């Protein structure tokens, strides 16, 4: 896999698949993957979310896609920075291309708009020995869906703007932004500071759950490995993903 093609140049569209991430991994395992390849599906029967959850989406209403990236030569320490690249790219798409307001990142990789989840990102990495060979960025973006099981927690571009969108006309500018951000990633441009500037509740006191008990802390941001940094009872603490759960208001 050579890292000389533009993200999105190779495009696969599917009507239905279990998961675009699974399909992408299959292409990688069969030696048929190319850097920047994008796989989009109208419907996923088993779309992946964080912590083994599934991503629920109505057929042909939302963007469900995965992107294959060649990560050979990058340090394993940069895995969270790639996650930051994907989150920043999605936030930038909504803010700049569609002028949406109150866009933020909920640690570690959900995108919220006006206090509700609008997109989720799941990155699966292929590591061989001590080498990071490639990554698959899986993204679900709520575009034209009008109803949700948990209407208090989820939203869509349609619900925020009252407009319907052609899915590929939303995807194309995202791929362009992601390509630009990935180039910065290749050039070791500092990305965590920008991620922290978009982080939900940064600089505020938040409630979080750890070992089934509730605590409060001042949220400072994340470090380069994606660990959450908070002041708890006057002491600086660092928490790994899945070690704590941030509570929403």
* Sign of the CA dihedral with 190 first, then 240, 127, and 125 last: negative
- Mean pLDDT value of segment 147-153: 84
Looking at the structure of the chain, the number of domains it has is 2
pLDDT over 80 at 57, yes or no: no
* Structural domain that includes position 179: 11-197
Same-domain pairing of 148 and 190: yes
Whether 1 maps to a domain, the answer reads: no
Same-domain pairing of 55 and 88: yes
Cβ neighbours for 170, distance < 8 A, ≥ 6 positions apart = 63, 93, 98, 141, 143, 157
**Domain holding 15: CATH number?**
3.30.930.10
Which residue stretches of 118-162 are H helix? 157-161
pLDDT over 60 at 52, yes or no: no
Q: Are the C-beta atoms of residues 62 and 140 closer than 8 Å to each other?
A: yes
Whether 92 maps to a domain, the answer reads: yes
Range with lowest mean pLDDT among 10-24, 44-58, 120-134, 149-163: 44-58
From the CB of residue 45, how many other CB atoms can be counted at a distance below 10 Å?
A: 10
Same-domain pairing of 19 and 141: yes
Whether 3 maps to a domain, the answer reads: no
pLDDT tens sequence across 78-96: 999 999 999 999 999 999 9
Same-domain pairing of 212 and 191: no
pLDDT over 60 at 23, yes or no: yes
> What pLDDT, on the 0 to 100 scale, is given for residue 190?
93
Same-domain pairing of 171 and 227: no
Q: Are the C-beta atoms of residues 24 and 39 closer than 8 Å to each other?
A: yes
- Mean pLDDT value of segment 149-165: 92
Same-domain pairing of 101 and 209: no
Same-domain pairing of 49 and 127: yes
Same-domain pairing of 49 and 128: yes
**Domain holding 218: CATH number?**
2.30.30
Quote the pTM value.
0.93
Same-domain pairing of 104 and 217: no
Tokens at 196, concatenated: 């922290």
Whether 64 maps to a domain, the answer reads: yes
pLDDT band at 149 (very low <50, low <70, confident <90, very high): confident
Same-domain pairing of 133 and 94: yes
């Amino acid at each position: 896999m050579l890292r000389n093609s533009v993200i999105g140049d190779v495009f696969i569209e599917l009507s239905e698949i279990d998961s675009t991430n699974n399909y992408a991994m299959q292409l990688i395992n069969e030696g048929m993957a190319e850097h920047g390849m994008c796989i989009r599906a109208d419907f996923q029967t088993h779309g992946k979310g964080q912590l083994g959850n599934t991503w629920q989406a109505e057929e042909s209403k939302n963007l469900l896609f995965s992107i294959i990236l060649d990560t050979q030569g990058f340090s394993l320490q940069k895995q969270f920075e790639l996650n930051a690249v994907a989150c920043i790219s999605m936030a930038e798409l909504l803010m700049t291309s569609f002028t949406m307001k109150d866009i933020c990142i909920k640690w570690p990789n959900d995108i919220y708009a006006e206090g509700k989840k609008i997109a989720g990102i799941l990155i699966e990495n292929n590591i061989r020995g001590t080498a990071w060979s490639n990554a698959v960025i899986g993204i679900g973006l709520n575009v034209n869906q009008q109803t949700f099981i948990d209407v208090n927690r989820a939203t869509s571009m349609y619900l925020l703007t009252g407009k319907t969108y052609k899915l590929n006309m939303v995807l194309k500018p995202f791929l362009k932004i992601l390509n630009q951000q990935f180039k910065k990633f290749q050039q070791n441009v500092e990305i965590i500071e920008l991620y922290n500037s978009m982080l939900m509740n940064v600089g505020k006191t938040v409630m979080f759950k750890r070992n089934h008990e509730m605590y409060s802390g001042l949220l400072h941001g994340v470090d380069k490995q994606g660990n959450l940094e908070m002041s708890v009872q006057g002491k600086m603490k660092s928490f790994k993903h899945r070690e704590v759960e941030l509570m929403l208001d």
